[in-house]
Structure 1
Amino acid sequence: MQTRNLLPLALAVLSAFLSNPARADVVETKSGSRLIGKVTQIDGTSITLSTDYAGSLTIKQSEVTHVQTDTPLFVRLSGGTVMAGTVTPTPDGKIQINGSDGVIITSVDKVAATWAPGSVDPALAALEPKWSYEATADITGKTGNSEQFGTAISGRAKRVTPTEVLQFYTAYNYQKSDGETSDDRFKAGIDYANNFSGRKSWYVRDEAGFDRVKDIELYNIAATGLGYDFIKKPKQILTARIGLAFRYEGYENPATEDVKSFGLDSGLHHEYTFKDSKLVNDITFVPAFDDFTNYRATHESYFEIPLMSPVWKLRLGVSNDYTSRPGSGVEKMDTTYFTRFVLNWK
């Protein structure tokens, strides 16, 4: 008797299972392709579909005619309307967003963004500050006909938004050759840039430190001015700066006159990324207004390549520090060739 009662129930469950195959999202294109998977993102230019058979696929949104989702998504249209619901195609070639508050009929090209329930609108997420950090270190040594030991450490913290870049940085270099100190310098600084219009920006920066080999007990450069991006692409940046600076250099030797002067602040930054490697060039030139032949210029170029772990990189480069009027008995130019290990994290 119990078996007879259970049989109709089992048949009903089996019938329901067979009539409702595994549900999935569907994307159809103008060429007639019908792709099945899971829609993970629509960003206004492309649709990302996660599949079991081909991994993650990116389809041009302009080539898509129909989208169907089996679970609700938050959908933001180009006009700013936001609605949560499932997406289904309509017979006339449009899409329909089915939410608890009603139905919206629109077209695929009007979808500006989607995100899963519990996530944040990508437009708002892009406005949130993103911090990244960097630490570098290298140690060199030599024994035999000559004795040499050197070390260099540095750190950088960067805060980035769509319109702002704030950086804190510091570095210390020390080297001893045949018992004589050949490098002993420290710097720490802050740099803020605000991209207020297209390629245009304004900036303010301040850097202080010492260079005991050059007899500089304390130096400080405070500057503000304007910047312009001659190249502004995802993989290449070329930015020039020009502004007003106040330069101070205090020498330990009382016979050397300290520098206290307003001057020009100028700089050039170039960065090119290819695959996982990066080439960076930085140049600054700070002359005094009362005497343009009294200036300080710095240059650094390096090539950065990834190591086995994504957070570890190797940096090969050269830096130059030139002071046109150094202290008595001190060379104008300091050149450093370096190989540094870099640790990046967020």
Structure 2
Amino acid sequence: MNQKKLPNLVCAAMALLLSSVAFAADRIELNDGSVILGKLVSAEEGKIKFETVFAGTIDIAQKEVKTFSTDEAVNVQLQAGSTVIGTVTPTATGISVVATDGQFAAETSKVAAVWRVGKESPQVRKLKEQADKQKRQWAYEASVAITGRTGGSEKFSGALGFKATLESAQDKLIFNLAAEKAEDNGVETANRQAGGVDYSSFFSEKNVWYARTSLEKDSIKALDLRSTTAFGIGRKLIKKDIQDLEARFGVSYVYETYANGTKFDSPGLDLALIHTYKFKNGQMNNSLTYTPAFEDFANYRAHHESSYETPIANSFWKLKIGISNDYTSIPQPGIERLDTLYFSSLILNWK
């Protein structure tokens, strides 16, 4: 080997070794005798977050750790509540923390949390996260769906929608507007406009109270106006990060006027199931409402909608497809009881 290159290789090897030692300064010894070198990032809720060269940042169950050490001062909090800043060294039964004003020892199992100097403690971070959840934030959606055909037949259908949601961990307020219009060879097959407001608020961990109101006009059904107002209580049958199922029970008041001069108004029940399920790349939404009139329970309206939303290329756009069924037990003469709509639309969402 070239003698001139030898010193350079030695220097490079020493530099590599020193950089590895500098990075792998913190040490964890497991109960089975295994040793892991790297950087202790934090410890909380029974897990130690440890940064390594060979596997990146990993989580280690604290119950599997016999002892650990750090080459820099860190914050160490014990289950009893006391917190000290110092360098951690291993002992036969756990750890020892060397602080500027003394030294104390503890079993590893008695350590409640560890975090780096200059970083927020787990308690402070959780309080901030909870505060963020309490903040109401607006989210908006605008949707559009247009199809048409010309030539052998003339067809057109279009739908527009807007939704604004103000939500926190304690309550949710939803405004929505929708309009649809369709023609088939000059014959109008859809002409509907609707809007509504829905508010719900938790009064316990899984129980909510709600109030909602909506207005609707549908020329095809000869409906000049339908006004529905309802309020009641609901319960979260499922409340998880990926799935939510809410059952509602309340009372309603419905007022309807039709093109032929017929009017109808009556208080009634308001029953509903509202369900969402989040997949890795999308979300399923389901709703079912049932509103029978008190004066005649055979006179009722049932509405069902199921849809699936998926984001498009990590943008602000989503694709939504679904089906909607609207059933009126006593419709106006010449109007079908069941109205089924298949739909797909592009949704622009922003905050």
Tell me the TM-score range normalised by the shorter chain: 0.7 to 0.9
| Structure 1 residues 243 and 264, CA gap change in structure 2 (3 angstroms) | same
C-alpha separation between the residues in 1 aligned to 2:98 and 2:125? 17
Correspondence 1:288 to 2:293: yes
| Structure 1 residues 121 and 323, CA gap change in structure 2 (3 angstroms) | same
Query: What secondary structure is seen at the aligned counterpart in 2 of 1:121?
Result: helix
CA contact (8 A) 1:71 1:85 kept: no
- 2:261 corresponds to which residue? 255
- 1:12 corresponds to which residue? none
For residue 182 of structure 2, the aligned residue among 175, 181, 189 is 175
- 1:152 corresponds to which residue? 159
Query: What secondary structure is seen at the aligned counterpart in 1 of 2:158?
Result: strand
| Structure 1 residues 277 and 19, CA gap change in structure 2 (3 angstroms) | closer
- 1:44-77 residue CA offsets vs partner (Å, 9 max, x unmatched): 2544445554344333454445566677878887
Query: What secondary structure is seen at the aligned counterpart in 1 of 2:22?
Result: coil
Query: What secondary structure is seen at the aligned counterpart in 2 of 1:197?
Result: coil
| Structure 1 residues 200 and 99, CA gap change in structure 2 (3 angstroms) | farther
| 259-268 vs 335-344, which moves further | 335-344
Aligned runs of 1:1-346 on 2, under 5 Å?
22=22, 29-37=30-38, 42=43, 44=45, 46-64=47-65, 66=67, 85=85, 88=88, 91=91, 92-94=93-95, 96=97, 111=112, 117=119, 121-128=125-132, 129=135, 131=137, 132-251=139-258, 253-257=259-263, 259-309=264-314, 311-346=316-351
| Structure 1 residues 98 and 123, CA gap change in structure 2 (3 angstroms) | farther
CA contact (8 A) 1:40 1:49 kept: yes
| Structure 1 position 299, deviation (Å) | 0.9
Taking every aligned residue pair, what percent have the same amino acid on both sides? 36
C-alpha separation between the residues in 1 aligned to 2:82 and 2:182? 60
| Structure 1 residues 320 and 117, CA gap change in structure 2 (3 angstroms) | same
C-alpha separation between the residues in 1 aligned to 2:100 and 2:198? 47
- 1:15 corresponds to which residue? none
| Structure 1 position 203, deviation (Å) | 1.8
CA contact (8 A) 2:237 2:246 kept: yes
C-alpha separation between the residues in 1 aligned to 2:175 and 2:76? 38
C-alpha separation between the residues in 1 aligned to 2:296 and 2:73? 68
CA contact (8 A) 2:86 2:100 kept: yes
CA contact (8 A) 2:284 2:307 kept: yes
C-alpha separation between the residues in 1 aligned to 2:293 and 2:322? 29
Query: What secondary structure is seen at the aligned counterpart in 1 of 2:128?
Result: helix
CA contact (8 A) 2:209 2:233 kept: yes
C-alpha separation between the residues in 1 aligned to 2:257 and 2:82? 60
| Structure 1 position 221, deviation (Å) | 1.8
CA contact (8 A) 1:235 1:274 kept: yes
| Structure 1 position 127, deviation (Å) | 3.4
| Structure 1 position 180, deviation (Å) | 2.3
Q: How many residues align?
A: 328
| Structure 1 residues 310 and 295, CA gap change in structure 2 (3 angstroms) | same
C-alpha separation between the residues in 1 aligned to 2:76 and 2:254? 54
C-alpha separation between the residues in 2 aligned to 1:221 and 1:82? 58
User: Aligned Cα RMSD in Å?
Assistant: 3.9
C-alpha separation between the residues in 2 aligned to 1:185 and 1:323? 16
Gaps of 5+ in 2: 1-17
- 1:7 corresponds to which residue? none
| Structure 1 position 290, deviation (Å) | 1.1
C-alpha separation between the residues in 1 aligned to 2:169 and 2:114? 18
Query: What secondary structure is seen at the aligned counterpart in 2 of 1:237?
Result: strand
Query: What secondary structure is seen at the aligned counterpart in 2 of 1:330?
Result: coil
